[in-house]
Amino acid sequence: MFGSRRPKRKLLIIPLLRFSHGVSFEDQVLVIREKLAELYESEQQWSRAAQMLSGMDLDSTMRVIDDTLRLSKCAQTARLYLEDDDAHKVCYARILDLKRKFLEAALRYYDISQIEKRQIGDELIDEEALEQALSAAVTCTILAAAGSCN
């Protein structure tokens, strides 16, 4: 069953590698990344599917992408990382932050800033990333306090 998906993957990966750096091929690269993400997801390779989506340039100046689509792709990427249980704390904190649940996001960011294990999945975590998480926790705490004054 999985063997038939491997040739499809190769057919998508080759053009992705060739065209991912060209500005004129941005739309095609987006389509290829979405298709690869679908294939990886069907094979339950959650992190790879999430990596395909997170590699999409949704902030390009060459085209206009509405905020709903951008948020949808971010949520889909986070969901895929959650499926694999890699980097779930980071994704969940960002989702809470985007949903303006600042107090909950602050708690999650603080938890992240205190991790002792310096690796999440394949990614090594440096001190600067931990400091950024702590800074995000402080910012969310301030925003939560400001929002409760209404």
Residue 150: pLDDT band by 50, 70, 90 thresholds? Answer: very low
Q: 123 forms bridges with which residues in the sheet? A: 120
pTM score over 0.85: no
Arithmetic mean of pLDDT, 33-37: 91
Q: Cα 144–110–100 angle (5° rounding)?
A: 30
Contacts of 68 (CB under 8 A, 6+ apart): none
3-state secondary structure of 125: coil
Half-sphere exposure of 128 (CA within 13 A, CB side): 1
Residue 15 has pLDDT above 70, yes or no: no
Percent of the chain with pLDDT over 90: 15
The string of pLDDT tens digits covering residues 39-72 is 999 988 888 888 888 888 777 656 677 888 888 8
Q: Cα 144–145–148 angle (5° rounding)?
A: 85
- pLDDT at 112 (0 to 100): 82
- pLDDT at 1 (0 to 100): 44
- φ/ψ region of 125 (left if φ > 0, alpha if ψ in -120 to 50, else beta) reads beta
CA distances from 132 to 46, 110, 129, 136, 141 (A): 26, 10, 5, 6, 14
Residue 137: pLDDT band by 50, 70, 90 thresholds? Answer: very high
* 92 within 8 A of 99, measured Cβ to Cβ: no
Residue 133 has pLDDT above 80, yes or no: yes
